Amino acid sequence: MPIEACHTISERLRQRFSTARSVFVLTGAGVSAESGVPTFRGGGKEGVWKGLPFSVISSAAMVERDLPAVWEWFDYRRDLLEKLKPNPAHDALARWQSRFENFTLVTQNIDGLHEAAGSNDVLELHGNIWRARCLECEKREDLRGCDNARPPVCQECGGAIRPDVVLFGEMLPPGVFEEAAERASQCDVCLVVGTSAIVYPAAALPEIARAAGAFVVEINPELTPLSAMCDEVIQGKAGEVLPLFEI
């Protein structure tokens, strides 16, 4: 497991990257944090908003108990995100989608910054904070086109709608993990960027890639439990490291 400084890319990795036909990338909160996105967690302790732990206000149970409060919380988060921009890591990944025969970008982030940078067909494991989903008919709507009524009303059936994100106590959206796992099993190079990759099922994706023979690379400021199984580990910020692949 060679460990490189953030300002270097090994010749072995450059060779693997330049000859790869299928590249798979999993991104996490570290990539978003470089754009200023709050993690809402810190120091290993759970945060609190208006007296409620994040695991409560962002829970499936809270949707049933007090949907307006859930909207208030997510509206607050969207207000924070609205002024933020993609960083060089997002920009580099958007360029990579036209570089390889097959390119898959999977994210645990809900902020939409990959799409803002120009990435297409992103597999969003945890949904997107800029979308809403009807509790009755499951129709999805772009919140940028919705009025400010809370909770919003579905334009299709008139039912109440909720943020289209995975909340505490919920499963991943049907099919998204399965699609990600299938692509992970077919990649030549797998990069895990800005995430500790210890929370399942997302943590299984680099394991699937490695089991299928992919060259697995971790890019993160700190070593993680995933580091030991990677072929290479680059300690550094995603926004500093990913552009180096293009030099």
**At 49, is the pLDDT very low, low, confident or very high (cuts 50, 70, 90)?**
confident
This prediction has a pTM of 0.93
Confirm if 189 and 215 have CB atoms less than 8 A apart.
yes
Contacts by 134-142, CB closer than 8 A, 24 or more apart = 134/159, 134/160, 134/161, 135/63, 135/159, 135/160, 135/161, 135/162, 136/160, 140/164
Q: Are 204 and 226 in contact (CB under 8 A)?
A: no
Q: What is d(CA 193, CA 195) in angstroms, rounded to the nearest whole number? A: 6
Neighbouring CB atoms inside 10 A of 70's CB total: 22
Outline where DSSP puts E strands in 11-93.
22-27, 41-42, 45-46, 48-49, 52-53
Give the per-residue pLDDT at 147: 64
Strands 48-49 and 127-134: what pairing? Answer: unpaired
114 is catalytic: no
Overall average pLDDT of the 79-101 stretch: 96
Query: For the chain, which domains are there?
Result: 1-37+86-126+171-247 (3.40.50.1220), 40-83+131-165 (3.30.1600.10)
Residue pLDDT, tens place only, 105-145: 999 999 999 999 999 999 999 999 999 999 999 999 998 86
**pLDDT band, very low/low/confident/very high, at 247 (cuts 50, 70, 90):** confident
Q: Is pLDDT larger for residue 3 or for residue 116?
A: 116
pLDDT score at 146: 67
**Any idea which residue has 């293009």 for tokens?**
246
Distance (Å, whole) CA 233 – CA 167: 31
Mean of all residue pLDDT scores within the chain: 92
Of 99, 93, 80, 75, nearest in space to 19 by CA: 99
Say which of 7, 90, 114, 126 is annotated catalytic. Answer: 126
pLDDT the model gives residue 133: 94
24 vs 88: CA distance, rounded Å: 18
In angstroms, the CA 63 to CA 42 distance is 25
